Chain A
Amino acid sequence: MTAVAQAPAVPRPSSGSTLTGTGRLVRFMLRRDRVRLTVWTLSVVAFYAYFAVALDAMGPEALAGRALVMETPAGIVMGGPGYGIENYTVGVAIANEGITWVVLALGIMSVLHVVRHARAEEESSRSELVRAAPVGRHAPAVAAIVTLFVVNAVIAVASAFALYGASGEAMPLVDSFGLTVGSGLAAMVFGAVAVVACQITEHGRGATGIGLAAYGLALVLRSAGDIQERHGSLLSWLSPIGWAQQMRSFVDLRWWPAALSIVAILLLLVLGAVLASRRDFGGGLVATRGGRADASARLRSPLALVWRQQRSAFGWTALGMALMWYASGTLLPEILQMGVSGAADNEMFQAVFGGTDPAVFRDGFLSAMMLFAALACAAYAIVMSGRAKAEEAAGRAEVLLALAVSRSRWFGAHLVVVGLSTVVLMAVSVYAMWVGAVQVGMDEPGLAAYTDVFWTYSVALLVYLGLAAALYAWVPRFASAAWLLLVYSFVVGMFGAVFNLPEGAEAISPLDWLPAGFGEAPEAANMVGLGAVVAVLLALALLGFRRRDLQSN
């Protein structure tokens, strides 16, 4: 028959077809993430403004002292290449010290944003629904980058005005823009790295890891380069963080280093697009490695399992604490020098750190540092003891307790692992600081004093673990009330002298039972008392957990 209608022609694909639907996806992502992105924006803008106000409040002399700290290696790692360090004004300080941290924050935001939209969606197969609609292959990734650009642009503009406003218009607006735009572009480089990573790995976690590792590498390169030479050497120029800092905002602004970021972003996006065209939906260029089909011989007890669950969190925490306290140790001489002069005319300082006599001030300052170190370890203990609750809620405790595992053995495994981890972290913090201090020639106080601090604080730390565990065992709903003790300990430890609290009230904080001065010999009765409290709390915890119903949803 001749009347058969011609089959409708398949529309010829146009050259832009892999991007079809990008605009709608952009609107969709902005809508989905409106809360998340608003919080990021407000936080970063507030950080800029707060930093400017806080530095301004220090006054020119303290800023000059701060500049000295920023010339030490640890200061350079945490700060920058040292442009304008001879005349350290608020703007110079923000550019020198702030960029590393702003790029870190914005970099994390960028990596998470890209992975969330370009890989996690695919992993969860939600984007299967989207891609089945008339939406191009590259549209989700491009829309993720477009939205990321929009957010970074908004943050850069708002932050520049925030700096300008917070400084009472003392900081030139154009330099503020140089600072915020440079930082935003540097952060977007890490977002672009994440785009490439999303094509390579199958899982969002892997892509996030690559993106954050790229920041770590950039920080190492930048730090090494800046330590080699003031104002940076070749190594500094290999790092996106360096590109933002080399714009020399508030010193001698130049714009061209920003072009390096732009070129890097474009190259990475082209690479991402090429890779994306070569892979399947849902797949990665590198197939996920299979894990072990059989468990290693060591994985045969609840204790081994708990350690396996917590070891990477423990390892990273230990590394972070070691680096931080080592760096603090190397900074001690400068900080003490700066502090003694600062304390001379500041009563609050004197009250908190014990006076202006250098030795007394030093021990007071070290004690304050140890308070922070101890509270960080206490926080670790409380967080990780919460893992037991999470295991119970997820129904994984049930699986083990239905086997020949007693309640005490299961919960005891958690307590042992968290307790030992906490004590080791305290050791890492204390001795890392000692190593740092010795390295810059500060031999007083000696190792014995640090060791006394370590073991006495360790006993006190176990009180936080015991309390969190006992609360979890008896009233799981209020397990997080252990945080109250931590907050209270901080307030008492830091400002107890200022508040003039009654003695009994201070003693609620376990840290108050320890010697006040750094490395002073502890009172035996106090240590026995603390040990008894720990023993009672842990026994209560095990007893309570044995007699209650298991809770699972």
Chain B
Amino acid sequence: MTATPAIQIDDLRKSFGRVQALDGLDLTVQPGEVAGFLGPNGAGKSTAIRVLLGLLRADSGTARLFGGDAWRDAVELHRRLAYVPGDVSLWPNLTGGEAIDFLGRLRGTVDKKRKADLLERFELDPTKKARTYSKGNRQKVALVAAFSMDVDLLILDEPTSGLDPLMEAVFTEYVRETAATGTSVLLSSHILHEVEKVCDTVTIIRNGTSVESGTLDELRHLTRSNVTAVVSDDPSAVGGLAGVHNFATAPADGGTRVTFDVDNAQVGSAMSRLTALGLHSLTAAPPSLEELFMRHYGDVLPGAESAADGADDTASAAPTAPGTAGAR
């Protein structure tokens, strides 16, 4: 792509005293892209976002928005973006409606119609003083303010903490709607299915450095599929195939139930062997991001995988949530 990326971070470093919050982070968000920014609490997501917003000064490396310097050109760049922090703090003596108007006016004019629609969809009472709002309601104020703005980039830092599932759905819908108009989105989260639902690409951050990034499909290549099948013949030979892990069998109605994980590169050969054994039923679940997490927050980094095979097996033996797997 030749267009200037909406966000470009290269080898970004930032430390607070002896704590290295960002340690060579790379992150790129192309125009119109919805990018997930995944990592556990304390991984450095919020620090990276604060550097992007010019609130923190990087020690080294570059952080650019629309090609401009995030620190030096902060005010100009901010005209083109909206930001929702993870823990929204509002002025206690302003009502929610006043806060939304005020935030909108600092960028431009407030679209009354859009504000009213958003208030209705998010079921927010704008006449209450912010001091009486719950965490979820404060979050809604910031979301309404952000979505009612006409911007080129939305930066959302764990924006759904405090929202109930219904409101999360409304949020997801608005992110999709906004993205459809060509707005780029950076969505930081530690909730996997939130990212899976809306994001085109994902960058995974751990200890201040990006450990993986790519489209969801690309990332799944790095993982294994989880296979459960019932076959009539003895399946033990499958367990010896290259790329098959965690092989287990159990008696089942009409044969033997077999479960295993298989590297995606080896799925074909495993399937043909299973078919030859007289296949009764088969489920193959794509790996969820949960598994990606298990790998990256377990002490296994890509590249060290074969060396640490034993540890890897224990990691992926952890139960996965079938509901979240393959949501796309």
Residues on A facing B (Cβ under 8 Å): 203, 288, 290-296, 299-302, 305, 308-309, 394-396, 398-406, 547-550
Contacts and interface: CB of A to CB of B under 8 A. Distances in A.
Contacts of B81: 402
Nearest to A309: B91
Given A290-B127, A293-B126, 13 more contacts: A203-B132, A294-B97, A295-B97, A295-B100, A300-B102, A301-B106, A305-B91, A398-B85, A401-B54, A402-B53, A402-B55, A402-B155, A404-B76
B75 A406 contact: yes
Question: Most chain-B Cβ atoms within 10 A of its Cβ — which of A299, A305, A402, A548?
Answer: A402
Contact of A550 (B50, B91, B128): B50
Given A290-B128, A398-B85, A308 B50 contact: no
A248 B89 CA distance: 53
A553 B138 CA distance: 17
Nearest to A203: B132
Contact of A291 (B55, B87, B89, B129): B129
A403 B90 contact: no
Given A401-B53, A403-B107, A396 B127 contact: no
Given A396-B90, A402-B55, A404-B78, A292 B106 contact: no
5 contacts: A295-B99, A296-B98, A396-B90, A402-B78, A402-B155
Contacts of A399: 83, 85, 88-90, 103, 142
Contact of A401 (B55, B101, B105, B132): B55
Interface in B206-258: none
Nearest to A392: B55
Interface residues of B, number: 41
B106 A291 contact: no
A51 B143 CA distance: 57
Nearest to A304: B102
Given A396-B90, A403-B106, A293 B97 contact: yes
Contact of A299 (B76, B101, B129): B101
A180 B94 CA distance: 43
Please classify the interface of chain A as helix (H, G, I), strand (E, B), loop, or mixed, using the class held by over half of its residues. Answer: loop
B56 interface: yes
Nearest to A548: B57
A404 B103 CA distance: 10
A305 B99 CA distance: 10
B315 interface: no
A184 B132 CA distance: 34
Contact of B105 (A300, A406, A547, A550): A300
Contacts of B106: 300-302, 400, 403-405
Contacts of B83: 399, 402-403
B55 A294 contact: no
B127 A292 contact: yes
Given A305-B91, A398-B85, A549-B57, A299 B78 contact: no
A293 B53 CA distance: 29
A398 B94 CA distance: 17
A308 B103 contact: no
> 5 nearest interchain CB pairs?
A290-B127, A295-B101, A291-B95, A293-B97, A295-B98
A40 B244 CA distance: 73
B79 interface: yes
Contacts of B57: 547-549
B55 A295 contact: no
B163 interface: no
A209 to B, nearest CB: 14
A395 B91 CA distance: 10
A400 B107 CA distance: 10
A299 B106 CA distance: 10
B107 A305 contact: no
Given A396-B90, A403-B78, A291 B102 contact: no
Contacts of B53: 398, 401-402
Interface in B28-68: 50, 53-57
B105 A549 contact: no
B98 A294 contact: yes
B74 interface: yes
B91 A396 contact: yes
B93 interface: yes
B142 A293 contact: no
A293 B95 contact: yes
A292 B97 contact: yes
Contacts of B129: 291
B55 to A, nearest CB: 4
Contacts of B125: 290
A544 to B, nearest CB: 13
Contacts of A290: 95, 125, 127-128
B152 to A, nearest CB: 13
A482 B91 CA distance: 26
A174 B67 CA distance: 83
A293 B78 CA distance: 26
Given A305-B91, A399-B88, A405 B98 contact: no
Nearest to B100: A295
A294 B126 CA distance: 8
Contacts of B155: 402
A395 B87 contact: yes
A292 B129 CA distance: 9
A295 B106 CA distance: 13
Contacts of B54: 401
A378 B38 CA distance: 49
A295 B102 contact: yes
A314 to B, nearest CB: 14
Given A291-B129, A396-B91, A399-B142, A549 B55 contact: yes
A301 B105 CA distance: 8
B85 A291 contact: no
Nearest to B78: A404
Nearest to A299: B102
Contacts of A406: 74-75
Contacts of B142: 399
A396 B102 CA distance: 13
Contacts of A301: 106
A137 B69 CA distance: 61
Contacts of A203: 132
B47 to A, nearest CB: 10
A404 B102 contact: no
Given A299-B102, A550-B50, A404 B79 contact: yes
Interface centre among B56, B85, B88, B106 (most CB of A within 10 A): B106
Contacts of B132: 203, 288
A395 B98 contact: no
B75 A405 contact: yes
Contact of A404 (B87, B89, B107, B128): B107
Contacts of B78: 402-405
B55 A305 contact: no
Contacts of B50: 398, 550
A264 to B, nearest CB: 32
Contacts of A295: 94, 97-102, 105
A405 B90 CA distance: 17
Nearest to A397: B55
Nearest to B14: A549
Contact of A308 (B55, B56, B94, B100): B94
